[in-house]
Structure 1
Amino acid sequence: MSKTILSVLCLAASASLSAATINVSSLSALQTAINNAVAGDTIVLANGVYTASSNITVSKQGTAASPITITAQTIGGAEIKGTGGFSIVSPAKYIIIRGFKFTHNASLATMASGTSFCRWTCNVFQTPGAGENLLLNGNDHEVDHNTFQHKNALGRFIAVRGSGSQIAQRLKIHHNYFVDQLPQTGNGAETLQFGLSGYSLSSSNSTIEYNLFEDCAGESELISVKSSAVTIRYNTIRNCPAQFTLRHGNHCTVYGNYFINTPGIRIFGDDHNIFSNHFENCSPAINIGNGDGEVADGAALTVHDRPDRTLIAYNTLVNNTTNIVQNGRTNGLGATTQTVVNNIIQGGGPAAAIAGPYTGGIWSGNILYNTNGDGDMPAGGYITVNPLLARDTTGTFHLQPGSPAINAGTGTYAAVTTDMDGQPRPSPLDKGADEVAAAPVIARILTPAMVGPLADDLTPVCQPVIASADDGNVPANVLDGNLNTRWSANGNGQWIQFCLDDTLAVSGVQIAFLNGNTRTSTFDVLVGNDTLHWTTAATGKVSSGTSLNLETFSFPAKTGRLVRIVGHGNSVNTWNSYTEVRIQTGNQLAVRKMNVAPAAAAPDPFSLNSYPNPFNDHATINFYLKKPGVVNLTVYDINGKQVKVLVNARLEAGSHNIPFDAGVHPSGTYLLSLHHNGKVSVKKVQKL
């Protein structure tokens, strides 16, 4: 996404869906406008510096298609200082706070329990004094493209809480810039604290992604996760003396992160998955905690819970002073069943230094090269060989052609589906954090230009399908023509979104539901041209409860290039699970099922050829595009099983030649499926 596009989204120049645009030039007028707001209103505070002596309270409700937007006249143009800030209280929902600079006292930007679906975007937080810059309660909130800066007191940039013993759920914290947090002598100065020990056994199902942390000291912990089921991915932590810690809780997933000149990650709790991360010049890189209690056996939630069943797999560690460690502890319980497999450790100190009790450990398939010995890593847990890593222009170490790590991963670990570039990892996997692949790169080491209010987002302008969340059953599964795969996400309001590339009249959707023959599912359909402004195409649609096949839901046509299906659970539970989805535009399906039988394939709407055909191990796939757009080129076997994604990116018009290396695949018939601008072409090829 370009800076121009993002700036337009942040400025929200379009008010076509707003009930009214109300311009105000004082905080009293702002409060009055908020009190009288209805769904779709945009309230614009004129640029200037305002001193608040009391909180600006928001309790109104917008809708998904028509949120209530409270915005500065221009990004950063309206500054609020003093002893009051925005206080969003129950039952507020679908509120957007955008474009402000907050220099009021800390602990004044708050979200209360009972709020939902609110968004803080494109703001600058520089709030002095002890306390949090932003306190989050409630569910389904989004915090994105903000800058949190210049903190020199106890308290956190962001603190996440909950209600009772339940942590806030389904939060999305992304594309924020955390910078310049000075060290404190007391406890309670993390950069981002997600939960407290009392919430640690409750699942959040939240995502922290694409954030940049630089020069943040605070205290010993940088990011402190005290909750279960949090995904932390594609973040960059650079030049921070504090440590990312899974402090309390279980079942967290940490992948695709870049740790540079920082203490890396420290692990407590059970059943975490740590994979595809990049560690450089860290001390240590990975710290397996030495527990002083076992929560599963009744220990208090405040203990350092003994790490059990952690998967530490497919990470790349380069030139770290210490690599994988476990420190000693008087009467420590150590860790159990830690699986350390298929990592690449190059340079730096010993590969492993384990000082505490360590039972049931599994070490396998790791690559060591130029380290200061293996330390405590068992001899059978590694090989010594040059992995052929080289730093690319992004600053990241990637595998080079001929690397012994390519296709060399051992064992099966279902959690490892993505590499550090955000590319899918088809079997056989490459060792380390990098998977050599032709799929688009959606993650890399972040720079300040990629985050904050004027970010140049890395995410492609138009991805064929994305979702608010998933449980490992990824959104791409709804486009694979296979009713045995699915997208799944738990919770009211989880969504899956499709990009049609062109602006089209959307007149319906076809959805096949998991267990659709035994339960009904409820959903809405939104259509729009950007993610801030939606038209409601259908509400309260309910599936038949009698079919596993695609069901058609028609509605009056709405024009847009994005289609979002918002799930409201099913008649049994709050899960949203779709096996296939098609978008109806006029009388055509904009997203079609792949015809796995060649005889059923429609005539090629555009050129698709393979040279040679038949081929041995290598072929070149050629196609010509009359128009630019998002292209998906995928290879399937004759049974319709996905073999390899060759392209999933936006391409320009013209001729394209894509290599297909089939050396590791058996002889036989394969199908090439090319999707572009709502059209599909299928080609049968033969490997000798």
Structure 2
Amino acid sequence: MNPKNYSLRIFFFMLCVTAALRLSAATINVSSLSALQTAINNAAPGDIIILANGVYTASTDITISKQGTAAQPITITAQTIGGAEINGTAGFNIVSPARYVIIKGFKFTFNASQATMASGTSFCRWTCNVFQTPGTGENLTLNGNDHEVDHNTFQHKNALGRFIAVRGSGSQIAQRLHIHHNYFLDQQPQTGNGAETLQFGLSGYSLSSSNSILEYNLFEDCEGENELISIKSSGVAIRYNTIRNCPAQFTLRHGNHNTVYGNYFINTPGIRIFGDDHNIFSNHFENCNPAINIGNGDGEVADGAALTAHDRPDRTLIAFNTLVNNTGNIVQSGRTNGLGATAQTVVNNIIQGGGPAASIAGPYTGAVWSGNILYNTNGDGDMPASGYTTVNPLLARDATGTFHLQSGSPAINAATGSYAAVTADMDGQPRTSSLDVGADEVSSAPVIARILTPAMVGPFASDQPSACEPVTASADDGNVPANVLDGDLNTRWSANGNGQWIQFCLDDTLTVSGVQIAFYSGNVRTSTFDVLVGNDTLHWATAAAGQVSSGTSLNLQTFSFTPVTGRYVRIVGHGNSVNAWNSYTEVKIQTGSSLRSSAMMNVTHDAEELSSLSSFPNPFNDHAMIRFSIEKAGMVNLAVHDINGKPVKVLIHARLEAGAYNVPFDAGRKPAGTYILSLNYNGKVKVRKIQKL
């Protein structure tokens, strides 16, 4: 054989072997930032890199340039949501050609402007993180295309800079971004410009289209400057967001062809409009001053004015909005030598209460006013009589705080004209024909939007798939946390050091009134601990401090306290009377009148509805059949967790009818060991241990 050909064959053989080895994605656990960087540098598609819970200080950037795939992204995650905090002078830097990378579950307290994404990156995701980055600068800067930013909390900013700044490359704004279900909270006022809560673009990008979506975000108590959200781009859809108690204005500052619908503006200066061909419909305004501010232009970009000008608003559609008790409703302020606005279409809005319906102080040519309903306003102001009727629209506030039309409302089927851009109402219900005036379309279609609350956004939002890990811990010595839920006093969880903790998820928010703990060597030494209860794993209330075991028993001991409501229970150990070890053999959580064995096993009164859960065979090799039955129809989540409580696979997340079910579990690529099978049915939970050989 030709030696050269032989060498080539060996080379290609080794190349294929290497590729085959990397087809199986790995889970890499690290406990330092240097190890995290090494794992990232070596990452392959599908890898999950887990940083252990703790507080880390970054002095050099964690740089990410690796590429996952759509089917196998690279995931860089905290051990538990909010459990790994990174502070310091450096942060996360995602650089080209990174793509399909997920950053999940961290608390970022490093300096501002240290979470960045460069041009040339794509399909990356920031999810379930908390950004609380001090100092001047942005909390998160986005370049590149097709990124997602969701279920994060951006909070407590007291310096110039934005929570999120979107940029681009050349004159092209970043494209196809999806920013949703984030919570923007507490931005303190600054004395200079450059402190918007969310700035989407700059004037140099304004004529480029982004085709991005900002939806289901909640803004509360944000007032960095006079502009809250500043859109300086074209082709952005802003929908189903809630802006509440923010003394700053949502501004279409530069750009054209933006769509704003289904948003809730409450006790805020509402929306200000510059640029051309915007569609603003199905929004809910309450107690705003003003609600809708049509800008008075000082330049016309289409005629050559600078991109930094206040571009005269042309051809804006303002339709099907509901305005209630606003000091100012539809206004345009005066401006010396102002160009005003042209071809504004103000139709089919409901204006109830508050100041005059319209106050127009600038040039306002080619306007269309039609089909509006006024009721109890302080006059029509500058709205022509032909543009409205005065009648009670029969609005009533529902349990969500939103004003909806009641039966018999004269607004139902009363809209005039046809507007193809108007596709949905404020509830996310479709608008088809015979449209209703105002933001609400009376419909039996599913409601997909409403006024948001903090429980609906951020890392622990109610729309998130259940990530309720039955039991986790800050550390262990090989005696894993799952041992406290196996009903066996001969197994235990152990961790050495003051402040080590074990944590339980109750799956539902419940009233916690006590804990029962069986202590390892509890008959010869006392153990000291605190009990914390929280609605998430970031914010805790101390339910019991300085508790001490009896030192005389190996059995469960009861520690009661004033009831506290929460979803998570954390027991923080302070060692024992002999050494610094914290070690428990069993734990049960007292919720109301019942006990939960860890977070995942309700040991009382669930047999009548959730009658069985088993796995066959057990132990098993690669395949097991999970069997369970339910007595009544209900929501079922069937999941497999590893021995540390981390989700491995969700087998069912759906509403099921009463009956018996057999569900296959393929563990062919999972390592041998003990797994936890959990069945959550209508808030009642059962667990079983299963063993893979």
Q: Which residue of 2 aligns with 1:26?
A: 32
User: Structure 1 pair 344/106, CA: closer, same or farther in 2 (3 Å)?
Assistant: same
User: Structure 1 pair 49/18, CA: closer, same or farther in 2 (3 Å)?
Assistant: farther
Task: Work out the CA distance in 1 between the residues paired with 2:385 and 2:439.
Answer: 22
User: Structure 1 pair 338/17, CA: closer, same or farther in 2 (3 Å)?
Assistant: farther
Q: Which residue of 2 aligns with 1:122?
A: 128
Task: Work out the CA distance in 1 between the residues paired with 2:462 and 2:380.
Answer: 42
Q: Which residue of 1 aligns with 2:363?
A: 357
Task: Work out the CA distance in 1 between the residues paired with 2:430 and 2:93.
Answer: 41
Task: Work out the CA distance in 2 between the residues paired with 1:362 and 1:458.
Answer: 44
The amino acid across from 2:375 in the alignment is: Y
SS of residue in 2 equivalent to 1:383: strand
Q: Which residue of 2 aligns with 1:166?
A: 172
Q: CA deviation at 1:426?
A: 1.6
The amino acid across from 1:412 in the alignment is: S
The amino acid across from 1:396 in the alignment is: T
Q: Which residue of 2 aligns with 1:317?
A: 323
Q: Which residue of 1 aligns with 2:88?
A: 82
Q: TM-score, normalised by structure 1?
A: 0.65
1:428 aligns with 2:434: yes
Query: Out of 84, 100, 108, which is 1:94 matched to?
Result: 100
Query: Out of 381, 388, 395, which is 2:401 matched to?
Result: 395
Task: Work out the CA distance in 2 between the residues paired with 1:102 and 1:627.
Answer: 42
Q: Which residue of 2 aligns with 1:68?
A: 74
The amino acid across from 2:320 in the alignment is: Y
Q: Which residue of 1 aligns with 2:380?
A: 374
Q: CA deviation at 1:17?
A: 9.3
SS of residue in 2 equivalent to 1:231: strand
1:270 aligns with 2:282: no
8 A contact 1:421–1:443 mirrored in 2: yes
Q: Could you report, residue by residue, the CA deviation over 1:505-534 in whole angstroms, capped at 9, with x for unpaired residues?
A: xxxxxxxxxxxxxxxxxxxxxxxxxxxxxx
The amino acid across from 1:381 in the alignment is: G
The amino acid across from 2:87 in the alignment is: K
Task: Work out the CA distance in 1 between the residues paired with 2:325 and 2:464.
Answer: 27
Q: CA deviation at 1:653?
A: 5.9
Q: CA deviation at 1:61?
A: 0.1
How is 1:234-273 mapped onto 2 (pairs within 5 angstroms)?
A: 234-273=240-279
Task: Work out the CA distance in 2 between the residues paired with 1:17 and 1:228.
Answer: 41
Q: Which residue of 1 aligns with 2:219?
A: 213
Task: Work out the CA distance in 1 between the residues paired with 2:463 and 2:71.
Answer: 23
User: Structure 1 pair 17/398, CA: closer, same or farther in 2 (3 Å)?
Assistant: farther
Task: Work out the CA distance in 2 between the residues paired with 1:458 and 1:420.
Answer: 22
The amino acid across from 1:122 in the alignment is: C
User: Structure 1 pair 363/459, CA: closer, same or farther in 2 (3 Å)?
Assistant: farther
User: Structure 1 pair 144/83, CA: closer, same or farther in 2 (3 Å)?
Assistant: same
Give the paired residue count. 456
Q: Which residue of 1 aligns with 2:203?
A: 197
Task: Work out the CA distance in 2 between the residues paired with 1:459 and 1:381.
Answer: 47
SS of residue in 2 equivalent to 1:449: helix
SS of residue in 1 equivalent to 2:56: strand
Task: Work out the CA distance in 1 between the residues paired with 2:328 and 2:247.
Answer: 15
1:58 aligns with 2:59: no
8 A contact 1:423–1:439 mirrored in 2: yes
> Where does structure 2 lack aligned partners over 5 or more consecutive residues?
1-21, 467-631, 636-653, 659-693
SS of residue in 1 equivalent to 2:396: strand
SS of residue in 2 equivalent to 1:120: strand
User: Structure 1 pair 399/179, CA: closer, same or farther in 2 (3 Å)?
Assistant: same
The amino acid across from 1:161 in the alignment is: R
SS of residue in 1 equivalent to 2:220: strand
Q: CA deviation at 1:652?
A: 7.8
Q: Which residue of 2 aligns with 1:156?
A: 162
Q: Could you report, residue by residue, the CA deviation over 1:472-520 in whole angstroms, capped at 9, with x for unpaired residues?
A: xxxxxxxxxxxxxxxxxxxxxxxxxxxxxxxxxxxxxxxxxxxxxxxxx
SS of residue in 2 equivalent to 1:32: helix
8 A contact 1:107–1:131 mirrored in 2: yes
Q: Which residue of 1 aligns with 2:54?
A: 48
8 A contact 1:90–1:115 mirrored in 2: yes
Q: Could you report, residue by residue, the CA deviation over 1:109-130 in whole angstroms, capped at 9, with x for unpaired residues?
A: 0000000000000000000000
Q: CA deviation at 1:47?
A: 0.5
Q: CA deviation at 1:457?
A: 2.1
SS of residue in 2 equivalent to 1:71: strand
SS of residue in 2 equivalent to 1:34: helix
1:231 aligns with 2:199: no
Task: Work out the CA distance in 2 between the residues paired with 1:70 and 1:456.
Answer: 23
SS of residue in 1 equivalent to 2:275: coil
Query: Out of 418, 439, 442, which is 2:445 matched to?
Result: 439
Q: Which residue of 1 aligns with 2:181?
A: 175
Task: Work out the CA distance in 2 between the residues paired with 1:98 and 1:377.
Answer: 50
Q: Could you report, residue by residue, the CA deviation over 1:303-333 in whole angstroms, capped at 9, with x for unpaired residues?
A: 0000000000000000000000000000000
